[in-house]
Structure 1
Amino acid sequence: MKLALALTLSMVLALAGVLFLAFGCRRKQKMWEVKQSSYREEQNVSGPFSFQTDSTTWVADVKQATSVPVVIFEKPLLNITFADLLSATSNFDRGTLLAEGKFGPVYRGFLPGNIHVAVKVLAVGSTLTDEEAARELEFLGRIKHPNLVPLTGYCLAGDQRIAIYDYMENGNLQNLLYDLPLGVQSTDDWSTDTWEEAADSNGIQNVGSEGLLTTWRFRHKIALGTARALAFLHHGCSPPITHRAVKASSVYLDYDLEPRLSDFGLAKIFGSGLDEEIARGSPGYVPPEFSQPEFESPTPKSDVYCFGVVLFELLTGKKPVEDDYSDDKEATSLVSWARGLVRKNQTSRAIDPKIRDTGLDEQMEEAIKIGYLCTADLPFKRPTMQQIVGLLKDIEPTTN
Structure 2
Amino acid sequence: MSLQAVAHHTTLKTADDGSFLLGCPQGSNPDWFPQPGGEDDRRIAFGQLKRFAWRELQIATDNFNERNVLGQGGFGKVYKGVLPDATKIAVKRLTDYESPGGEAAFLREVELISVAVHRNLLRLIGFCTTQTERLLVYPFMQNLSVAYRLRDFKPEEPILDWPARKRVAIGTARGLEYLHEHCNPKIIHRDVKAANVLLDEDFEPVVGDFGLAKLVDVQKTSVTTQVRGTMGHIAPEYLSTGKSSERTDVFGYGIMLLELVTGQRAIDFSRLEDEDDVLLLDHVKKLQREGQLDSIVDSNLNQSYDGEELEMIIQIALLCTQASPEDRPSMSEVVRMLEGEGLAERWEEWQQVEVTRRHEYERMQRRFDWGEDSVYNQEAIELSAGR
Provide the TM-score with structure 1 as the length reference. Answer: 0.68
**Which structure has the greater CA radius of gyration?**
1
C-alpha distance after superposition, 1:364-387 (max 9, x if no partner): 012111111111111111111111
* Pick aligned residue for 1:299 from 224, 227, 245: 245
SS at match of 1:178: helix
Q: Residue 80 of structure 1: CA displacement?
A: 4.7
The 1:357–1:89 alpha-carbon spacing in structure 2 relative to 1, beyond 3 Å, is same
Q: Residue 148 of structure 1: CA displacement?
A: 0.8
Aligned to 2:136: 163
State how far apart, in whole Å, the 2-side matches of 1:303 and 1:161 are. Answer: 25
Q: Supply the AA of the counterpart residue of 1:249.
A: A
Q: Residue 362 of structure 1: CA displacement?
A: 1.8
Q: Residue 160 of structure 1: CA displacement?
A: 2.1
* Pick aligned residue for 1:283 from 231, 247, 258: 231
Structure 1 segment 28-177 matched on structure 2, within 5 A: 75=48, 80-125=52-97, 129-177=102-150
Aligned to 1:251: 197
Whether 2:215 is the aligned partner of 1:269: answer yes
Aligned to 2:324: 378
Contact kept? 1:71, 1:155, Cα under 8 Å: no
Long gaps (5+) in structure 2? 1-41, 342-387
C-alpha distance after superposition, 1:276-320 (max 9, x if no partner): 88526312112111343xx14211111111111110010011111
SS at match of 1:279: coil
Contact kept? 2:233, 2:255, Cα under 8 Å: yes
SS at match of 1:260: strand
Percent identity, aligned pairs only, is 33
Q: Residue 323 of structure 1: CA displacement?
A: 5.6
Contact kept? 1:70, 1:81, Cα under 8 Å: no
Whether 2:151 is the aligned partner of 1:178: answer yes
State how far apart, in whole Å, the 2-side matches of 1:359 and 1:105 are. Answer: 36
State how far apart, in whole Å, the 1-side matches of 2:225 and 2:90 are. Answer: 23
Q: Residue 101 of structure 1: CA displacement?
A: 1.5
C-alpha distance after superposition, 1:58-107 (max 9, x if no partner): xxxxxxxxxxx99896557x895211111111221212221111221011
Q: Supply the AA of the counterpart residue of 1:178.
A: R
Aligned to 1:20: none
Decide which moves more: 134-143 or 249-258.
Answer: 134-143
Q: Residue 157 of structure 1: CA displacement?
A: 1.4
Q: Residue 129 of structure 1: CA displacement?
A: 3.2
SS at match of 1:217: helix
State how far apart, in whole Å, the 2-side matches of 1:329 and 1:282 are. Answer: 23
State how far apart, in whole Å, the 2-side matches of 1:246 and 1:165 are. Answer: 18
Aligned to 1:33: none
The 1:75–1:377 alpha-carbon spacing in structure 2 relative to 1, beyond 3 Å, is closer
Q: Residue 257 of structure 1: CA displacement?
A: 1.2
State how far apart, in whole Å, the 1-side matches of 2:225 and 2:84 are. Answer: 35
Whether 2:309 is the aligned partner of 1:363: answer yes
* Pick aligned residue for 2:165 from 195, 219, 228: 219
Aligned to 1:192: none
The 1:393–1:106 alpha-carbon spacing in structure 2 relative to 1, beyond 3 Å, is same
Whether 2:367 is the aligned partner of 1:394: answer no
Contact kept? 1:243, 1:263, Cα under 8 Å: yes
State how far apart, in whole Å, the 2-side matches of 1:344 and 1:357 are. Answer: 20
Aligned to 2:293: 347
State how far apart, in whole Å, the 2-side matches of 1:289 and 1:124 are. Answer: 27
State how far apart, in whole Å, the 2-side matches of 1:308 and 1:207 are. Answer: 30
Q: CA RMSD in A?
A: 2.9
Contact kept? 1:312, 1:371, Cα under 8 Å: yes
Q: Residue 218 of structure 1: CA displacement?
A: 1.4
Aligned to 2:178: 232
Q: Residue 132 of structure 1: CA displacement?
A: 2.7
The 1:172–1:236 alpha-carbon spacing in structure 2 relative to 1, beyond 3 Å, is same
State how far apart, in whole Å, the 1-side matches of 2:322 and 2:163 are. Answer: 26
Contact kept? 1:70, 1:153, Cα under 8 Å: no
